[in-house]
Amino acid sequence: MPFGSLRLHPDLNKAIKELGFARPTPIQSDAIPPAMEGRDVLACAMTGSGKTAAFLLPILEQLIKRPRGTTRALVLTPTRELAAQILEDLNDLSVHTAITGAAIFGGVGMGPQEHAFRTGADVLIATPGRLLDHLRQPYAKLDRIEHLVLDEADRMLDMGFLPDIKRILGFVPKRRQTLFFSATMPAPILDLTRSMLQNPATINLERKAAPAVGITQAVYPVPQELKSLLLLALLERKLVNEALVFTRTKHRANRLWEFLDKRGISAARIHGNRSQGQRTEALAGFKSGTYRVLVATDIAARGIDVTALGHVVNFDVPLVAEDYIHRVGRTARAETTGDAFTFVAPSEENDVRVIERAVGKRLPRVTLPDFDYSAKATGPLEIPLTERLAKMRSQRAGDRSRAKAKQGNRGGSTPSHGARPRSEAGSSTSRRPHRGGRRGPSR
């Protein structure tokens, strides 16, 4: 059915048409009508299913004729990237209205976010931890909330946000509409829904988690030490034009990025140790085509929305089947097509079998023609922890020695009262301001 059958406001239909959406996805067809009626909604929805518009459109429909200057909708989401993406979608859908939104997450200054609270942005999209930081201040009020959304609820549970969510519920009115979206429904999530929802419309609760239709999945058996060379070969032969590549750890993400960068592949990286500015710049550059490869840990699996992303590569096999589904869900979004390749070392075969049981089929094994699977690796991607710690200790000892020598070159003068030499206060290395990225959205 076309979007027009949903009877949305003309200004919303105009934006939908400009975005190129002709008909709603299944989750949108099922969730939007009861949500527009004001009912609570409990939906099992995967990434790539169009669920963001499924909860934003009914909220915008109900806010469009309300007075501005009061925050009436709150969206809770697990990661900064997902909060920023939802804000971008909100701005796209509300472009012909006066509705305003703001993202509330860590890693950026609180000033613009405080301004959003004080001026009453219509919709706040927040991660639980940063939202609670604001709620300790008198300017942060949620007592006029009429619409509450929990997006990726199971992911928030995995990240330990359940206590924070329960605390946030104490700040919002009990009489409200609640829209609850989760990819899976474990027992703690079901318990939370019982306390939050009133006679909800339920959608897809019996559906088994599975990758979106349109994803071509394949497994590349390869020795662990040759994974980086295999990825390089796929890129150099243009069998993969652009790719979102997932690694198991932040350190492996850094090492793979260095490997690709040294070989002339334009690449960026996203993980928890990168600043928000760096993460935002990396994602923006990947979306614009500046970078062919975005190397990421699972922090990005549910927060990256790239139009027509052709390839997702699991450089490391995820340990949990649901993480595999969310990783590969970054491609073939909104009923498009894409490829998901998984590099599998012999030690990871058991993990792949768990994934295959979850998705209900055996994934085809493929090899790259003319690739030397017996080649000598260029070096280990993962430096042993003992070596990394030894290198860190050596660097810190060098910092202390240089600081002590610098203090001695100043004539050995005694520090003024209350001060300490830098060699005692800590590393003499100063923090350099980040120059590469723009700040994340915090309007």
- If one counts the domains in the chain, the total is 2
Q: Which of 147, 172, 203 is the last residue of a domain?
A: 203
Regions in the chain scoring below 70 on pLDDT: 1, 47-48, 205-214, 299-308, 329-337, 376-393, 399, 403, 405-443
- Structural domain includes residue 116: yes
Q: Which of 359, 388, 405 is the last residue of a domain?
A: 359
Nearest CA among 47, 57, 46, 61 for reference residue 24 = 57
Spatial distance between the Cα atoms of 86 and 47, rounded to a whole number of angstroms: 13
- Evaluate whether 224 touches 347 at the Cβ level (below 8 Å): yes
Residues 70 and 176 in one domain: yes
Residues 259 and 193 in one domain: no
- Evaluate whether 230 touches 371 at the Cβ level (below 8 Å): yes
- Structural domain includes residue 209: no
Spatial distance between the Cα atoms of 443 and 437, rounded to a whole number of angstroms: 17
Distances (CA, A) of 343 to 116, 179, 302, 329: 44, 37, 20, 17
Residues 11 and 159 in one domain: yes
Backbone angles phi, psi at 436, to 5 degrees: -90, -25
- Evaluate whether 122 touches 72 at the Cβ level (below 8 Å): yes
Identify the pLDDT of residue 426: 35
Residues 153 and 295 in one domain: no
Identify the pLDDT of residue 155: 81
Structure tokens, 244: 């979102």
The pTM assigned to this predicted structure is 0.65
Nearest CA among 194, 198, 256 for reference residue 231 = 256
- Structural domain includes residue 402: no
CATH of residue 180's domain is 3.40.50.300
- Evaluate whether 296 touches 304 at the Cβ level (below 8 Å): yes
Residues 337 and 242 in one domain: yes
- Structural domain includes residue 182: yes
Residues 292 and 158 in one domain: no
Identify the pLDDT of residue 202: 93
Q: Which of 336, 359, 382 is the last residue of a domain?
A: 359
Residues 162/166/168/174 CA torsion (nearest 10 deg): 140
Residues 191 and 320 in one domain: no
Residues 241 and 174 in one domain: no
Structure tokens, 416: 């003024």
HSE value, Cβ hemisphere, 13 Å, CA-based, for 38? 5
Listed in sequence order, the residues at least 6 apart from 275 whose beta carbon sits closer than 8 Å to its beta carbon are: 107, 434, 437
- Structural domain includes residue 346: yes
Q: Classify burial at 10, counting beta carbons within 10 Å of its beta carbon; exposed 0-12, middle 13-18, buried 19 or more.
A: exposed
Say whether 223 sits in a helix, a strand or coil: coil
Residue 10 belongs to domain spanning: 3-203
Residues 266 and 157 in one domain: no
- Evaluate whether 3 touches 23 at the Cβ level (below 8 Å): yes
Residues 128 and 235 in one domain: no
Residues 26 and 70 in one domain: yes
Q: Classify burial at 114, counting beta carbons within 10 Å of its beta carbon; exposed 0-12, middle 13-18, buried 19 or more.
A: middle
Residues 177 and 225 in one domain: no
- Structural domain includes residue 240: yes
- Structural domain includes residue 47: yes
- Structural domain includes residue 425: no
